[in-house]
Amino acid sequence: MPDDFPLKSRRQFLKGAGIAGLATTFAGAHAVASNPGTKPGRKPKAKNLIFLVVDGMSVGTMGLAHHWHLRNRKKALNWTQLYAHPGLRRCVQDTASNNSPVTDSAAAASAWGCGQRVNNAALNMDPGGKPCTPIFARAKIAGMRTGLVSTCRISHATPAGFVANVASRADEDAIVDQYLSRQVDVLLGGGAKHFQRTKAGAAGTDYFKAFEQAGYTLVRNRDQLLRLPRADKRLLGVFSADHIPYAIDRRNDDSLAQIPDLPAMFAASLQQLQGSKDGFILQVEGGRVDHAGHSNDAGTILHEQLEFDACIPLALEFIEKNPDTMLIVTTDHGTGGCQLDGLGHQYLESGPALETINRIRHSFEWIEKRFLAAEKIDPNIVTHATGIVPSDEQVAAMQVALDDSDRWRFLADFTRIFGSELTGISSVGWSSQNHTAENVELLAFGPGSEQIPAFIRNYELFGIMTDALRI
């Protein structure tokens, strides 16, 4: 929908955009977020909304990155510096879903995206199976432009939570269909396999062509992204078949040099969206902190958090020039219970571990991919990636894990096999390989942020955002 699209009734537009039947859910029934503290006519309107979410960030993950940054870069983490920023609104967020105190990413993103809690694995479908209207649909009715950026597959749960209605987050083909029909203006991330689909005995569907035919500019590598001129055209950038490779691997593997990092994708999305006369909503996800937490991969989670942190100055620079922009920085849940733990006598080895962790050059995922390609364990790969010299017993145990068909099982077993060595290198401990129920940090700036209370339930944020944007 172009920016000068005339305002129609909500029901008419939703039908034309391929989301017929959702208009009735704008008022909602139970658990729909509102902002009872609102005083109409007294608040400035937010023209834009930038929503920065680092998926799976436990409080300890931020602490690890904070202390690493102080020791290795001699200054505070950008996130830490935000606490001294004038105009900051800070609160603690309850992340539960409708059917569990421990949410998954689909339910968490849906809580923000439609203003009510849904069951884990569902995207904007209420517990009774009825679709809820996602925030991007409201934005489109108001003439706003919309964008999603992620280091995960762009059709993954968190970005989809602002757009899609599916019973299962696993239905990523349907999510891509909805991105196209609902006209999301900027899409940048991984997940090419859901755009180039093949079926047995059939030619398959090339959604890249479908998006181009709908007026999207298509980019597939870092150079193409960086060469983009500023334009108001729609943009699709998909840079890997699956998730974007981890930051630590992109830094140390020349074969991955043409895959852009999250700050580059964020900057490109702002370039394409900032000309909208009616404003925009942009969600930017550092999605793979969560994945590194699931596999208890300390070196990898650190560098994923650092890459997300590099987006914060870009956001602050933008809102300094565009003070009518609301900025939210948060996470959807914790993953793994990551902590920089005390190590050694009087914990005096914890500080040096912030330097020895730099020996880690690659993720467990990078190691596993090379083992799978060779169909056997090469201990030299472990040594190159982590500095650890495996014993014969560890090599044998890895081979058993590799022969198991469950990918996540290998990553879990790798952590178990090298647990003591990894702890000695990083001083990082874990509570699990699952999500956690911890309350998490939420920071906000700009118009509408004054309405955020000191404690918030995730679904209550929707009403504050839509009220600030007047949508």
What is d(CA 259, CA 264) in angstroms, rounded to the nearest whole number?
10
Which residues of 95-199 form beta strands (DSSP E)? 145-153, 186-190, 196-197
Q: What is the CA radius of gyration of the chain?
A: 22
Tokens in use for 401? 């894990």
Q: In what order do the strands lie in the sheet with 145-153?
A: 216-219, 234-238, 186-190, 145-153, 280-286, 48-54, 325-330, 440-445, 89-94, 455-457
DSSP class of residue 232?
S
The reported pLDDT for the residue numbered 69 is 98
* Residue 429 CB neighbours (<10 A): 18
Q: Are 313 and 76 in contact (CB under 8 A)?
A: no
Q: At what angle do helices 379-386 and 364-374 cross, to 10 degrees?
A: 160
What was the pLDDT predicted at 405? 65
- The pairing of strands 186-190 and 205-206 is unpaired
Q: What is the pLDDT of residue 22?
A: 44
What angle do helix axes 460-469 and 105-114 make, rounded to 10 degrees?
A: 40
Look up residue 19 and give its amino acid.
I
Cα(411)–Cα(423) distance, integer angstroms: 16
* Residues of the chain falling short of pLDDT 70: 1-42, 198-204, 405, 407-408
Q: What is the pLDDT of residues 261-313, one digit of tens each?
A: 999 999 999 999 998 999 999 999 999 999 999 999 999 999 999 999 999 99
Whole-number pLDDT of residue 30: 40
Place of tokens 């077993």: 413
- The letter for the amino acid at 60 is G
CA separation (Å) from 21 to 15, 30, 248, 315? Answer: 7, 18, 45, 36
C-alpha–C-alpha distance, residues 433 and 291, integer Å:
9
Amino acid at 54: V
Domain spans, the chain: 47-338+433-469, 344-428
Residue 469 pLDDT: 97
Architecture of domain 47-338+433-469: 3-Layer(aba) Sandwich (3.40)
